[in-house]
Structure 1
Amino acid sequence: MPSGLIVKALSGYYYVLPEHTTELESIQCRARGIFKKRGVSPLVGDRVAYELTDNGEGTVMEILPRTSELIRPPIANVDQVVLVFSVNEPALNLPLLDKFLVHTESAGLETVICLTKRDLWASPEAGEEEASSLDAASVPQSLDEVVRLYESIGYTVILTSAKEGIGVERVLERLSGRISVFAGQSGVGKSSLLNAMIPGLRLETNEISMKLGRGKHTTRHVELLRLPGGGIVADTPGFSQLDFLQVDADGLGACFREFAAYSSRCRFRGCLHLHEPDCKVQEAHGLGLIADSRFSSYTQFLEEIRDQKRRY
């Protein structure tokens, strides 16, 4: 039975690129009904076994074991996630960035932070209102401070501008030889960056809505794209909200990398780092060793998880 890679899922069809061939055309497939009965759905990035049908299409017969899985965006077998956030238009939203980081950490995926639209930060308008271009809840007041904060935690941060070609080659280097996924809110420039990296791609892009402060969903489905020089990247629809269905209160602290050096020395096992006595994470925050914006995100997310649990 031939095998292949699902490169796109759209309107109930799965487009499978055959493996071990030079064929570049994907095969349009339906999935076996047994998957629905089992509560399982094939995902973009899945390696699958399929059978050809008489009409030249195919049927996905088996989903091969996954190395990783994300619920939102729905994709399997990626090596790393590139979180794409703009420095302006829409304003840089650090709590949302932290929320995305919780999800990638819980999935055990390597993460790169890509800050787009660097050219807008350098504009006179951005220079006059530098602090306001960051989310109001965030503590860092300059782009350099944001970069230093996340690099100090252990993340790679790349500043880019698709318009001016800044950082594009560096992003390509990080994607080379890997299966990666681009994720982030709407209007941050994911499609523009991919257009700059892949000659002739011409993904649809839209201007940011200044009234709403966010972009339109120019990408409407998850699709794998081949990169020049090797590697595969998935473009995903933008979104402004994530829930915590896969993360519980006890596991949230482990998704904040900078907590690890202190949490192992907390008095109580399973410490939630809120009001417990002799909590080393609270102590580190009080000493300025954990950033206010990050600790604020942690406490906010913990409350969201508790509210979600109460609802269900």
Structure 2
Amino acid sequence: MPEGMIIKALSGFYYVTDGNRQVRCRARGVFRKRHVVPLVGDHVTYEAKKATEGYILSVGQRSTMLNRPPIANVDQAVLVFSVAEPAFDDQLLDRFLVHMEAHRIPSLICLTKWDLLDAGGDEAMRKLMARYTKIGYPVIRTSSVKNLGLADLRKHLEGMINVITGQSGVGKSSLLNGLDHSLSIDTQEISQSLGRGKHTTRHVELLPIAAGGFVADTPGFSSLEIPPLSPGELEQCFPEFSEFRTLCRFRGCTHFAEPGCAVKKAVKEHLIDVNRYAHYQAFSQEIGKRKRRY
């Protein structure tokens, strides 16, 4: 049977690319019985009784999978956040980083609209980003207006399946158009009355880029729910905790009220960023409240 990769899912159809051929497929009923939903990024076998129409027969094993956005086999998440219009939201960024860490997907932080910063804002944002580069997250500063950082970003995307996601209205579509002019993705201005962006992307689709590889433009989010993680799983989503967690007095330390907590000590000594630690606490409490509610 021929094999291919799903590059788009829309209105119950799955668009499978197989070399230079694209086949619009439906999923066989057996998938519903097995509670398996084909996702963009899946490697599949299919049957085509017409040149461009067919049925998906099987889905290959996935290396990674996200539910929001629904996509499989992602090599890298590019988290796109603006430095202005809308304002940078570090807690939302940390939500996305936790989300990707929980799914074992490496993250790259991409900052847009850098041209809107004055000298003071430039220095402040560089200092803020230093906390993330210290942890190990790559950070790229971009401006579609000034063509800043686009060449560097292209190098980071080469040969991989990249999911492009982040805050609404940050210029993801403009960024992608700057990376590859052939993409011609629709863009909209930010809503001045709401102070946030309008959703220009309605579905997940893998788009081939000239440098090689794919990018998936996904809907932006003004909020993102933390996955239902255990305390141990959540703290592992904060890589900077790793060198300290084994030094805590108690095994299974949650880094809240326990005495002899090496993580809290590291926060006091500015070895762990205080804002990141506050977000860890907030996310832990959010998960706890959700569990009690349900």
Following superposition, which runs of at least 4 residues in structure 1 exceed 2 angstroms of deviation?
53-56, 244-250
Match of 1:58 in 2: 54
Q: CA RMSD in A?
A: 1.6
Q: Say whether the 8 Å CA contact 2:228–2:287 is kept in structure 1.
A: no
Match of 2:147 in 1: 165
Amino acid of the residue matched to residue 226 of structure 1?
P
Please list, as runs of the form range in 1=range in 2, the aligned pairs for 1:24-63 lying within 5 A after superposition: 25-54=21-50, 56-63=52-59
Please list, as runs of the form range in 1=range in 2, the aligned pairs for 1:165-184 lying within 5 A after superposition: 165-184=147-166
> Is the deviation greater in 213-222 or in 33-42?
33-42
Match of 1:5 in 2: 5
* 1:125-153 C-alpha deviation (Å, 9 max, x unpaired): xx68x49xxxxxxxxx8111122111111
Please list, as runs of the form range in 1=range in 2, the aligned pairs for 1:129-148 lying within 5 A after superposition: 130=121, 142-148=124-130
Q: Say whether the 8 Å CA contact 2:78–2:163 is kept in structure 1.
A: yes
Instruction: Count how many residue pairs are aligned between Structure 1 and Structure 2.
Output: 294
| 203 and 212 in structure 1: CA distance in 2 versus 1, 3 angstrom threshold | same
- 1:189 equivalent in alignment to 2:171: yes
Deviation at 1:54, TM superposition (A): 4.5
Taking the aligned partners of 1:252 and 1:177, their CA distance within structure 2 comes to 30
Correspondence for 1:106 among 94, 102, 106: 102
Q: Say whether the 8 Å CA contact 2:9–2:203 is kept in structure 1.
A: yes
Say which SS state the counterpart of residue 181 (structure 2) adopts. coil
Please list, as runs of the form range in 1=range in 2, the aligned pairs for 1:1-312 lying within 5 A after superposition: 1-18=1-18, 21=19, 23=20, 25-54=21-50, 56-122=52-118, 130=121, 142-312=124-294
* 1:23-72 C-alpha deviation (Å, 9 max, x unpaired): 1x421110111212222111100000111134841111100000111111
Deviation at 1:113, TM superposition (A): 0.3
Q: Say whether the 8 Å CA contact 1:249–1:306 is kept in structure 2.
A: no
Deviation at 1:78, TM superposition (A): 0.9
Say which SS state the counterpart of residue 8 (structure 2) adopts. strand
Say which SS state the counterpart of residue 6 (structure 2) adopts. strand
Q: Say whether the 8 Å CA contact 1:16–1:27 is kept in structure 2.
A: yes
Q: Say whether the 8 Å CA contact 2:22–2:52 is kept in structure 1.
A: no
Percent of aligned pairs with the same amino acid: 51
Q: Say whether the 8 Å CA contact 1:267–1:279 is kept in structure 2.
A: yes
Q: Say whether the 8 Å CA contact 2:183–2:207 is kept in structure 1.
A: no
| 116 and 150 in structure 1: CA distance in 2 versus 1, 3 angstrom threshold | same
| 85 and 68 in structure 1: CA distance in 2 versus 1, 3 angstrom threshold | same
Taking the aligned partners of 2:100 and 2:51, their CA distance within structure 1 comes to 40
Q: Say whether the 8 Å CA contact 1:158–1:171 is kept in structure 2.
A: yes
Deviation at 1:246, TM superposition (A): 4.5
| 55 and 79 in structure 1: CA distance in 2 versus 1, 3 angstrom threshold | closer
Taking the aligned partners of 1:153 and 1:210, their CA distance within structure 2 comes to 34
Say which SS state the counterpart of residue 85 (structure 2) adopts. coil
Q: Say whether the 8 Å CA contact 2:186–2:200 is kept in structure 1.
A: yes
Amino acid of the residue matched to residue 99 of structure 1?
R
Residue segments in structure 1 that go unaligned for 5+ positions in a row? 132-140
Taking the aligned partners of 2:97 and 2:125, their CA distance within structure 1 comes to 18
Taking the aligned partners of 2:220 and 2:233, their CA distance within structure 1 comes to 26
Residue segments in structure 2 that go unaligned for 5+ positions in a row? none
Say which SS state the counterpart of residue 147 (structure 2) adopts. coil
* 1:151-202 C-alpha deviation (Å, 9 max, x unpaired): 1111100000011100000000000111111010111111101000112322
Q: Say whether the 8 Å CA contact 1:111–1:155 is kept in structure 2.
A: yes
> Is the deviation greater in 4-13 or in 200-209?
200-209
Q: Say whether the 8 Å CA contact 2:173–2:187 is kept in structure 1.
A: yes
TM-score (norm 1): 0.91
> Is the deviation greater in 179-188 or in 31-40?
31-40
Say which SS state the counterpart of residue 145 (structure 1) adopts. helix
